[in-house]
Structure 1
Amino acid sequence: MASLTVTGVRPWGGDPADLVLDGDRISDVRPAGSAPVEGERIDGAGLLALPGFVNAHAHVDKSWWGKPWVSYGGVASTEGRIAHERAEREALGIPSVELAETVLREFLRHGTTAARSHVDVDLGLGLRGIEIVRQAAERLGGAVEVEIVAFPQDGVLRRPGVLALLDEAAAAGASRIGGLDPAGIDRDPVGQLDRLFEIAERRGVGLDIHLHDGGELGAFQYELIADRTVRAGLQGKVTVSHGFALGEVPPARQAALLDRIAEAGISLATVAPVRKAPLPWTELSAREVPVGLGTDGIRDLWSPYGDGDILRIAFDFARLHGLRTDEELTAAVELATRRAGSFVGRVRHDLVPGCRADVVLVAAENVPDALLRAPVRALVIAGGRVVARDGKVLV
């Protein structure tokens, strides 16, 4: 028997349907009222139904959310932000299980049921941050499934001992290890990437590399990453996060980079930042390069911005890339949902039988309307259980 049926919803704005959930899976999607309801029933009241949102790039270990306001300080550069965070985080109790749980609860309230979180691994913290994030996720009973990237925020080669910590994290179950501006931070792109790929290949994990370096310097590092991905046989397991350079190089150079990225099976994660060049969105879609959307840090020592709502990030992506038609606006929401499953280890993530029963209901006329208004999430179901209602977390 079905454990839960959500009746009379409109999946992706289509015709009214009943979603039948068995345990943590969707077992059937059928026309509304076409069969008797067995087990528990929730009236969907004609609301728009979307899959749970996927946050493809988060830092849930860094936030001061829930504490008194922390004013922005330090120098506004990558190096400056790193130094400021290292100097101030301990006084704020960052990281902690309580603060990480607060962030995950904000995710859940806004309908995010899966996230890839970069978690700082450095000589001061060791692997403590990873255990903290795992504990925070466990407190919510797995309502938000979290894939962990062991992230060397302070650099790799320039901090002896970090490579050993990344290797240890991979051995201990981190699904990916990270990197950071191989040229701009470590000033040795070949050295950093060779060592990161060696760990990934040996441990059988993926890579997710922050790449802020712009222009030709960033483009050169894209090439290095693509070459090593193919050489190591890691197609489909490597992500470049941020990757601003892709939108900053001339068209011919850009097209060649896109071909190499697609050939290497590299995915991209973006937070759609203001004042940055748009990604070549149409060309990425044509080459079927996976693109995921992320919140990045939320109210942390890098920036006071962020509220945990990935639908607002999809809105920012749409504005940055000049999306206007219904098809384009719907595609932006798809990047935050069904097109993002691979970022959290899911072969398929949608409102179809066999997928994890992650469902978000909103009062919206259609998908573009939901994107532009970002209404309160009327109901959030994660893994087959109701976890939030009318913007309030119930777990």
Structure 2
Amino acid sequence: MHNAVSQSRRAFLSRTGQVTTAAALAGLTGGIGREAAAADCASEADVTAITENHYLLTDVRLEDGFERDGDIVTGTRTSLNTLEIKDGKIAALHAAGPTLPAGVPVYQANGQLALPKMRDMHIHLDKTFYGGPWKAPLPRQGKTIMDMIALEEKLLPQLLPTSEQRAEGLIALIQSKGSTVARSHCNIDPVSGLKSLEHLKLALEKHKDSFDCEIVAFPQHGLLHSKVDGLMREAMQMGAAYVGGLDPTNVDSAMEKSLDAMFQIAIDSGKGVDIHLHETSPAGVAAINYMIDTVEKNPALKDKVTISHAFALTTLSPEALDETAARLAANGMTIASTVPIGGLMMPLPQLSKAGVFVMTGTDSVIDHWSPFGSGDMLEKAYLYAQLYRGSDEYHLSRSLAISTGGILPLDADGKRAWPKAGDEAGFTLASASCSAEAVARVSPRSATFHKGRLVYGGVAKASS
């Protein structure tokens, strides 16, 4: 009976999640998302660019603590504060009332809630339909991953000529949602060679002052299958921070050989690893165990390996999951999950409880794999809260962590943990009374700041 209820609830969430994402994407295709949103913000704000290195942002809503009824958290206390921002950092926090520093430009947040900057830690900026006319993916029923790879081989030559511009469009989209940090997987394959990487690097260079991004060299067509070991090594020399991989059994048909080749590139280049592992068969579990074994034997890989998706973890018994999670945590191995809805229920809370760092990302944004990506990390927190029953004030506020790299305004005891003087001035302003409301309602964001720079939206200029 419990399983039937659980399956029914997941099916419902699958439907409602798709509706929410579709609504979030309304009007965003064709590359108009940022422009339309910015126009809305501009109608309510005077300033869409701040040129000063030292300024004050007043009327910023910050969380002060939890309201309680006994041991139950019933609400969140907030107050209006002024952030003094200088040289990309929060130089000081000023409570409302006291005299502010003289001679410093003043801007107003108009009571908007400050949330820590969002981090999109699994996205493919290099290949997307975003920015062009609407195009739904072809039917996936009955298609294998090898079928999808064959399709992509035909699509890549069509996408490459505009991939730099479309990457810039995706950067603008996720900035509008509050994300200014990302990890982008970038195709390294026989069709595009190193061109996708070259185009992505050009796009990122144009936004180097407003957006931080790590690149994963991703052998989308299989490291062994497509024979790209040499290209992968060139990609690492071009600045990729992580060696990618893909389903070593289903795609490369040689789990140990494929993983060994991936890890060898990482060891030789001194870089990290971030592998796509979709396999849910026993081979997927074997791959996870083999990767943990490899890290244990190679201390240079500790704290440098991410397993993206890791769906095989859903197949483990509670005892096996506990053992695997403990080993992942002991070796500093992270999990990047898109918080999937539907049939697979990733054990994300169990992993976090065991000390495994769990992060989330967009993955696809309107491409030949999926049309549902909105680029919104706050939406991922919303899905996380629904899937793992975080409907109360306390757990809603905790769900935000998956979107911010673990940074939360309040710690577990309700004491302010962020922002503090000396922190980087990276945050987003949301139309919400507290982070719990922001998560539950996926509240609109009006401005995004990165290292003190206003990179999306607008704020009001204080009258002199």
TM superposition score normalised by structure 2: 0.78
| 322-331 or 48-57, which deviates more | 322-331
Given the alignment of the two structures, is residue 27 of structure 1 paired with residue 27 of structure 2, yes or no?
Answer: no
**1:101 corresponds to 2:168:** yes
Within a 5 Å distance, the mapping from 1:107-186 to structure 2 comes to 107-160=174-227, 162-186=228-252
Which of 420, 445, 457 is equivalent to 1:377?
445
- Structure 2 counterparts to residues 229-308 of structure 1, below 5 A: 229-233=295-299, 234-308=301-375
Please list the CA deviations of residues 153-197 of structure 1 after superposition, one character each: whole Å capped at 9, or x if unmatched: 00011122x111111111221111101111221121111111111
Instruction: State the SS of the aligned residue for 1:277.
Output: coil
1:366 aligned residue: 434
Q: Contact 1:278/1:321 (CA < 8 Å) preserved in 2?
A: no
Alignment partners' CA distance in 2, 1:214 and 1:353 = 45
Picking from 121, 124, 127, the partner of 1:56 is 121
Residue 6 (structure 1) aligned with residue 67 (structure 2): no
- Measured after TM superposition, the shift of residue 287 of structure 1 is 2.0
Contact 1:64 1:94 in 2 (8 A): no
Could you report, residue by residue, the CA deviation over 1:50-75 in whole angstroms, capped at 9, with x for unpaired residues?
A: 11110010001111112111132154
Label 1:74 to 1:90 Cα distance change in 2 as closer, same or farther (>3 A): farther
Task: Assess if the C-alpha contact under 8 Å between 2:127 and 2:159 holds in 1.
Answer: no
Deviation at 1:356, TM superposition (A): 2.6
Is 1:353–2:404 an aligned residue pair?
A: no
Q: Which runs of 5+ in 2 are unaligned?
A: 1-51, 64-75, 409-416, 460-464
Q: CA RMSD in A?
A: 2.2
Distance 1:155 1:112, change over 3 A: same
Number of residue pairs the alignment of both structures matches:
383
Structure 1 gaps of 5+ residues are 342-348
Report whether the alignment pairs 1:209 with 2:260: no
CA–CA separation in structure 2 for the residues paired with 1:340 and 1:226: 27
Query: Residue 147 of structure 2 corresponds to which residue in structure 1?
Result: 80
Is the contact between residue 157 and residue 191 of structure 2 (CA under 8 Å) also seen in structure 1? no
- 1:294-351 C-alpha deviation (Å, 9 max, x unpaired): 000100111112121111122122222232222222222121114179xxxxxxx953
Residue 37 (structure 2) pairs with residue 37 (structure 1): no
Once the two structures are TM-superposed, the CA of residue 284 in structure 1 deviates from its matched residue by 1.8
Partner of 1:219: 285
Which shifted more, 198-207 or 14-23? 14-23
- Which residue matches 1:325? 392
Q: Distance in 2 between matches of 1:10 and 1:95?
A: 40
The corresponding residue for 2:66 is none
- The separation in 1 between residues aligned to 2:136 and 2:109, in whole angstroms, is 42
1:68 paired with 2:133, answer: yes
User: Do residues 192 (structure 1) and 253 (structure 2) align?
Assistant: no
Shift of 1:2: 6.6
- Tell me the equivalent position of 2:30: none
After superposition, the Cα gap between the structure-2 partners of 1:100 and 1:2, relative to the gap in structure 1 and judged at 3 Å, is closer
Deviation at 1:222, TM superposition (A): 0.9
How far residue 131 of structure 1 moved from its aligned partner, in angstroms, is 2.0
Q: Name segments (4+ residues, structure 1) moved above 6 Å.
A: none
- Going from structure 1 to structure 2, the CA distance change for 1:27 and 1:384 (only over 3 Å counts) comes to same
> Structure 1 residues 98 and 2, CA, compared in 2 at 3 Å: closer, same or farther?
closer
Give TM-score, length-normalised by structure 1.
0.91
Higher-Rg structure is 2
